Amino acid sequence: MATRIDKEACREAYNLVRDDSSGICWACFKYDGSTIVPGGHGSDYEEFKSQCTVDSRVFGFVRIMTGDAMSKRSKFTFITWIGENITGLQRAKISTDKALVKDAVPTFAKEFMISDPKELEEEYLRTELKKAGGANYDAQAE
């Protein structure tokens, strides 16, 4: 059965994360049968990490504060989590299903495909976003 997405509901969750006044820093998208739907959102990144279990496939849109001594700014990342207990067929479908989610979640600075819980650490993501962000003035602050 082909995967579908509740694009309108997923776009609403995406917009909550992008809204500077909402306080929401993450939204996740999960499977409900063969349909991808919003799976929750929140203001604590640890809550997002708890969604990423060994038995789950989760797409996430996360706001992370980055920057350097000269400026702080929000950066957004798109995360595809594949738990270690996910079957081969489910893994194979991830790439085509991800395209559906990215249609509802179009703007982000960096994309991650993660199966290792260590790579879900916020500091790891922040470091990777900082590398992708261009100029870094931290050395000048000393």
pLDDT at 48: 97
**Residue 124 falls within a domain, yes or no?**
yes
Tell me the average pLDDT of the chain.
Answer: 90
Q: Could you tell me if residue 96 is inside a domain?
A: yes
Give the three-state DSSP class for 107.
Answer: coil
pLDDT digits (tens, 9 = 90+) for 123-142: 999 988 887 766 555 554 44
Model confidence pLDDT, tens digit, residues 29-74: 999 999 999 999 999 999 999 999 999 999 999 999 886 667 778 8
Domain region containing 63: 4-133
Residue 111 pLDDT greater than 60, yes or no: yes
Mean pLDDT of 88-103: 94
C-alpha dihedral sign at 86, 92, 97, 102: positive
Question: Please, which pLDDT band fits residue 17 given cuts at 50, 70 and 90?
Answer: very high
How much of the chain is helix, strand and coil, in % rounded to 5?
Answer: 40, 30, 30
What CATH number corresponds to the domain at position 64? 3.40.20.10
The pLDDT-based confidence of 27 (bands split at 50, 70, 90) is: very high
117 lies in some domain = yes
- The answer to whether position 92 is within a domain reads yes
* Tally of structural domains, the chain: 1
In a domain, 35, yes or no: yes
